[in-house]
Amino acid sequence: MASIFGNNLKISIFGQSHAPAVGVVMDGLPAGEPVDLAALGAFLKRRAPGQNPWSTPRKESDEPEILSGLAGGVTCGAPLTAVIRNTDTRSADYRELRDVPRPGHADYTAQVKFGGFQDTAGGGHFSARLTAPLCVAGGICLQLLARRGISVLAHLYAAGGVMDTPFDPVAVSGETLSALRGRAFPTLSEAAGQAMCQRIEAAKQAGDSVGGIVECAVTGVPAGVGEPIFDGMENRIAQIVFGIPAVKGIEFGAGFAAAGYTGSENNDAFYMDEGRVKARTNRHGGILGGITSGMPIIFRAAFKPTPSIAREQQSVSLSEGRDVTLNVKGRHDPCVAVRAVPVVEAAAAIAVYDALLDKEGHV
């Protein structure tokens, strides 16, 4: 099952970092939906490496080829498949890592699971490169959601200990969206963004890396989407977001802070607004009982610092069964959370669109 997600729209992610390609099959996409490839390309560019000084210097065109699923630029009901060729691969960088697993990476756990047969080059199937096809699928879902009046918007809420302004959970506005889309660095506060950049640059200079938090808002989702118990919106968003490398936590609405509140502080009062039920506050993050309330869906995902750092680290030689020191080579972002911002949007878009299809029917 592993690399397949979704109940109605099944997303099947494939590829390894240094295989001929990475890609995605989307099975269950309704027929008759135009796909704007230029808009998709623009979305993918936000994730692509080489957009800022700290991101990995690996250059990839990241241009997807659509192999199936479209007829005249419109979905035809057959599975949509997109592949992105891997071109700028330097597998030699990774050869010695089969024996000496990198701390914080999946090298050791994959070695045990796959009995040494895993593809180690560039992290193989565990590489952040696999977020490119996730963004293809998510980018297409974003277009379908937009047609239904639903927007998905994320920003870098924290990086290296520097905090951005949080979203207003009751009123994430279109203005916020426009402002954020225009930013070179994905923060609401430009000052916070500059401070983060300095913090990331300092870490890079020190041969180190920093973690971060991405906050995401989904607006325009009608009330009544999601299912009880195991297929609620929180379950589904969590399942896909933990599919993004380096995510170690997720919270909805007030999240962990709610654990410190009293009920009278945490409950969101309902009121009528021009015939519609709304909540005056949004500590529930737009989800109650797994089902959307019509308020914005708000969640935050915690990213650990990039485990590949330029410093000497302690590890083991699996073949020799002894402790060794390790110097990781390769090209790496000092803060994966920066480029993860559109990836979180993509993941949220897929989960929300899949849940909408519970109601619409997936044909």
Footprint (CB under 8 A) of its own copies, residues 274-333: 275, 277, 279-280, 283-285, 287-294, 302-309, 311, 313-316, 318, 321-323
Contact range with its own copies by CB under 8 A, out of 45-53, 172-180, 188-196, 229-237: 229-237
Does 92 participate in binding its own copies (rule CB under 8 A)? no
| Residues 6+ positions from 117 with CB-CB distance below 8 Å | none
Helices 37-47 & 131-147 angle (0-180, nearest 10): 130
Tell me the closest approach of the beta carbon of residue 307 to its own copies, in angstroms: 5
Q: In angstroms, rounded to a whole number, what is the distance separating the alpha carbons of residues 213 and 15?
A: 27
Q: In angstroms, rounded to a whole number, what is the distance separating the alpha carbons of residues 30 and 7?
A: 14
* Structural element, H or E, at residue 197: helix 190-205
Does 340 participate in binding its own copies (rule CB under 8 A)? no
- The single-letter DSSP state of residue 9 is S
Work out the number of other CB atoms within 10 angstroms of the CB of residue 301: 28
Q: Which of 38, 175, 178, 361 contacts its own copies by CB under 8 A? A: 361
Does 99 participate in binding its own copies (rule CB under 8 A)? no
Q: Of 58, 66, 214, 207, whose CA–CA distance to 129 is shortest?
A: 58
Closer to its own copies by Cβ: residue 109 or 173: 109
Does 349 participate in binding its own copies (rule CB under 8 A)? no
Within positions 168 to 227, which residues make up the interface with its own copies, using CB under 8 A?
A: 203, 206, 208-213, 222-227
Helices 336-360 & 37-47 angle (0-180, nearest 10): 140
Q: Which of 40, 60, 94, 119 contacts its own copies by CB under 8 A? A: 119
Does 115 participate in binding its own copies (rule CB under 8 A)? yes
- The single-letter DSSP state of residue 81 is E
Query: Total residues at the site for its own copies (CB under 8 A)?
Result: 156
Tell me the closest approach of the beta carbon of residue 222 to its own copies, in angstroms: 8
Dihedral sign, Cα of residue 138, residue 345, residue 241, residue 231: negative
Within positions 237 to 266, which residues make up the interface with its own copies, using CB under 8 A?
A: 238-240, 242-243, 245, 247-256, 258-266
Closer to its own copies by Cβ: residue 194 or 256: 256
Structure tokens at 109: 């756990």
B/e letters for 180-189, b = 16+ CB within 10 Å, e = fewer, are beeeebbbbe
Does 125 participate in binding its own copies (rule CB under 8 A)? yes
- Strand, coil or helix: 204: helix
Within positions 129 to 158, which residues make up the interface with its own copies, using CB under 8 A?
A: 130, 158
Contact range with its own copies by CB under 8 A, out of 52-60, 65-73, 173-181, 186-194: 65-73
Closer to its own copies by Cβ: residue 7 or 165: 7
Beta strands at 312-317 and 322-327: parallel, antiparallel or unpaired: antiparallel
Closer to its own copies by Cβ: residue 238 or 352: 238
